[in-house]
Structure 1
Amino acid sequence: MSIRLPEPSSLAPEYQLLLLAARDPDHPPDTGRLAALCAGDLDWDFLLRAAREHRLTPLLHHWLNRLGVEGVPTSFRERLTVQAKGDALNVMGLVTHLKEIRAAFDAGGIPVVFLKGPILGRMAYGSMALRPSSDLDLLVAERDRARAIDLLRERLGFDMDAHRLDRLSPRRRKHLLHHTHEATLGHSRAGLVLDLHWRASKFDRTQFSDWETFHSRRQEVEMAGETYPYLGTCDLVVYLACHGARHHWQRLFWLNDLAVLIRRWPDLDWGAVLDRAVEMGEQRALLVGFALAHHCFEVPLPRPFAEALADEPMVAGMAERIFRVLFAQTGPQAELPVHLPAFSMARWTFDLTPAFSKRFALTLKFLLVPNRRDWESLSLPDFLFPAYYVLRPPRLVWQYALRPLFRPGSRRKTAKPLEHGS
């Protein structure tokens, strides 16, 4: 399969520099290319903003300092250092909370597996400070969801809830938790946000639903003198690809995670990783992610993936769409991170799902299953809750077909991904 993407060398120099510097400490970038880019005509303000929005500030700071690259304005170095130190301090704070959360879940008898976060920084980059994290992510069995939420609130002091579950009626709360995959909780005094997952995605109820099998594949990762239950290697790669794909790879550090793991684990059984993705119905998410990581970050494509790409012609078009959107905007007016228009996001989510049965289920869910927007647009008592299933289709027709006719130009505006509520 040939993916017709522009060469990274044809991108704006600020993006070229970010892609070149996005390497772990064991695989340094080409010093000559780095110096040549820094000596060129760069928009340093845009570079700083792009590094922050794509979560690549720590790596850019690391390599500019470690390699002693000249031609970098002093003011830029100072601002970059401030951002990098802020990212590092934030990650250090998260590690402190990780220890408390691990101890609390152990004491409460609730099995947990950690996702992404500082542990991924330690595993993939050799330093938790080189991969920014703004929150913590945990995965529990769906049967333990209520106990885990209670533990986080009562024992650990999480007092904020993005879903406002306490304000929902019992019927609406039950419906929301059944049809979503996570609860976002906040700790106001600690300034901490935590996403509690019981599935990997709201679109697929089967992902990680076999908790016993999944939990048995976990690995224990040592960090800062503690060990943490973490995703098994194959599950980790598939999860990272699924997570990035669901967010249409709008931040480059998600793609870079895959690139770094390819470099660090050359002897991994990549065929087993691909088999795991096929088992979960997520092969397209995996293949798009690896195709983009291969092209953007100049990492070798594992042989099983190169062979699988030949059997998935749609992946080429999907990768091209994401690549062109990712790097289309530069300068002070650039929209970062990039959001696809609502229709494009719906098409993207649909294209990620190769199985007809899952596509059909996804379509029915979008058309018929009510969410917060439905009951916020019309408040009904709980005994009339089934009426929302009837009212949702006409609301969608109004929102996406009729209302734009009365608001010229609204079709051209971008929207947040449909996953976050339509």
Structure 2
Amino acid sequence: MSLFSALPLEAQVLALAARTQVETPSAEKLRALLAQPLDWARLYRWVLRHGVVALVYRNLLQIAPDAIPEPWRLRLESEARSLALHNLHQTQELLRLIDQLEAEGIPVLPFKGPALAALIYGDPAARVYVDIDLLVRRADFRKARRVLEAMGYQAHKMLSGAEEEAYLDTQLGFEFIHESRHFVVELHWAFFYTIYDLALDPEAIWARHRPVPFAGRTIRTMAPEDLLLYLVIHGNKHRWLKLTWVADVAELVRRCPELDWSFVAQQARDLGVERVLAIGLILAEALLGAPVPEGIQSRLRQRRIAHRMAREVVHRWMFRDNTEVYAFWPVFWYHLRERERWRHRLGYLGHHLKLALAPTEKDRAFCRLPEQLTFLYPLIRPVRVLVERLHPGGNP
């Protein structure tokens, strides 16, 4: 049984409609599904959860407008309008940020957010997003931070100098929230958190970047080959819980027929993410009809573990509504299997060990140590936990 045919009817409708192009066979299949009894409450809930309201509403309206019950049509229309207005404001803010940073001599490369919606989907209103992601060079990071702060943004985490440097080195960026609470900027200097241990040189991203038209002007963007790898790693990091992450991959493949697949394959091999790439492409082709070249598809057919993991994504997480999707051990086991090299698997285990030992806010609140003694927090944690157990719900 294929990944698509194993989906519930509402999920099949979602997959057929969450595309910029619905080919004639898919449109006919969609009409046939809409003629059957559907749980519209469930479909509406999934449309919102998976971040595909604009695409689904647009395609349902064009392909089978009479099949949409009026109350649900009005709800979808309202959500699509709200999204368009939200995205317009986000796009305006993105341009304001680019202008200000570039005026200060800071090259900036937007990715995801409004730029991704416009460049891949051809419409900034086509995709749901909650933040604006920007890439700057590491040497420009502090200067860029000062520019953002002058524009009314404040760092989400207030850390000491040493803590901030450590955070930057491991998380590769920082989150800033505007004083209006309407905008969130994630400022990055590199990609792929150190949990992945990927030797992708940010300067290589800058060297391959290209200018593209956007909102009546020209902005920088990642080369499509780099963007494809970023999208599959990002989607897989979240176990593809949202169909919009699969749609990003599918639409990039659809929009860039000139994609250099040999370069993508070599990069994936060098980085040790061939299985991750395979999972993303299997999902994009099987669920959303991405036009993956036959040569690549023949290679994907040989990747049995990737196919098993793609089925696990669809059946265990993507269309489940319960809290099991966040259970620790299934998530841990999934991410351990995605890694094909023992070095990366050991790095993943080491990451969780560091998390277990890293000081938490509770540890800091229990005992404030001077900066030079913060290495003692792992010793303090057992004491803190013991005190909490002896004095539950109050101070000792």
Query: Is the TM value for this pair above 0.5?
Result: yes
Matches of 1:188 and 1:284 in 2, distance apart?
41
* 1:346 matched residue in structure 2: 332
Query: What is the letter of the counterpart of residue 308 of structure 2?
Result: G
Q: Which protein, 1 or 2, shows the higher relative CO under an 8 Å CA cutoff with sep ≥ 6?
A: 1
Give the conservation status (yes or no) of the 8 Å contact 2:50–2:242. Answer: yes
Residues 1:360 and 1:205: Cα distance change in structure 2 (over 3 Å): closer
Matching residue within 35, 46, 49 for 1:50:
46
Q: Superposed, which structure 2 residues align to 1:62-141 within 5 Å?
A: 62-141=58-137
* 2:268 matched residue in structure 1: 277
Q: 1:292-344 CA distances to partner (integer Å, 9 max, x unpaired)?
A: 11211233433453354366443222212111123553xxxx348x7331122
Q: 1:371-414 CA distances to partner (integer Å, 9 max, x unpaired)?
A: 4527447534122211235667x79xx9xxxx9xxxxxxxxxxx
Q: 1:94 Cα shift?
A: 1.1
Unaligned runs of 5+ in 1: 404-422
Q: Superposed, which structure 2 residues align to 1:154-233 within 5 Å?
A: 154=150, 156-159=151-154, 161-162=155-156, 164-165=157-158, 168-189=159-180, 191-204=182-195, 207=198, 210-233=201-224
Residues 1:27 and 1:117: Cα distance change in structure 2 (over 3 Å): farther
* Greater shift in the superposed pair: 22-31 or 277-286: 22-31
Give the conservation status (yes or no) of the 8 Å contact 2:211–2:218. Answer: yes
* 1:35 matched residue in structure 2: 31
Give the conservation status (yes or no) of the 8 Å contact 1:285–1:352. Answer: yes
Q: TM-score, normalised by structure 2?
A: 0.87
Matching residue within 146, 149, 169 for 1:150:
146
* 1:420 matched residue in structure 2: none
Matches of 2:100 and 2:163 in 1, distance apart?
29
Matches of 2:48 and 2:118 in 1, distance apart?
20
Q: 1:29 Cα shift?
A: 6.6
* 2:315 matched residue in structure 1: 324
Instruction: Tell me the SS of whatever aligns to 1:111.
Output: coil
Matching residue within 372, 379, 387 for 1:383:
372
Q: 1:250 Cα shift?
A: 0.6
* 1:357 matched residue in structure 2: 343
Matching residue within 239, 243, 254 for 1:252:
243
Instruction: Tell me the SS of whatever aligns to 2:66.
Output: coil
Give the conservation status (yes or no) of the 8 Å contact 1:199–1:208. Answer: no
Q: TM-score, normalised by structure 1?
A: 0.82
Unaligned runs of 5+ in 2: 390-396
Give the conservation status (yes or no) of the 8 Å contact 1:284–1:353. Answer: yes
Instruction: Tell me the SS of whatever aligns to 1:8.
Output: coil
Matches of 2:82 and 2:183 in 1, distance apart?
15
* 2:279 matched residue in structure 1: 288
Matches of 1:201 and 1:177 in 2, distance apart?
12
Matches of 2:364 and 2:300 in 1, distance apart?
43
- Structure 1 or 2: more helix by fraction: 2
Residues 1:141 and 1:312: Cα distance change in structure 2 (over 3 Å): farther
CA RMSD of superposed structures (Å):
2.7
* Greater shift in the superposed pair: 287-296 or 67-76: 67-76
Q: 1:207 Cα shift?
A: 4.7
Query: What is the letter of the counterpart of residue 84 of structure 1?
Result: A
Residues 1:190 and 1:99: Cα distance change in structure 2 (over 3 Å): farther
Give the conservation status (yes or no) of the 8 Å contact 2:131–2:183. Answer: yes
Matches of 2:319 and 2:196 in 1, distance apart?
34
Matches of 1:157 and 1:280 in 2, distance apart?
38
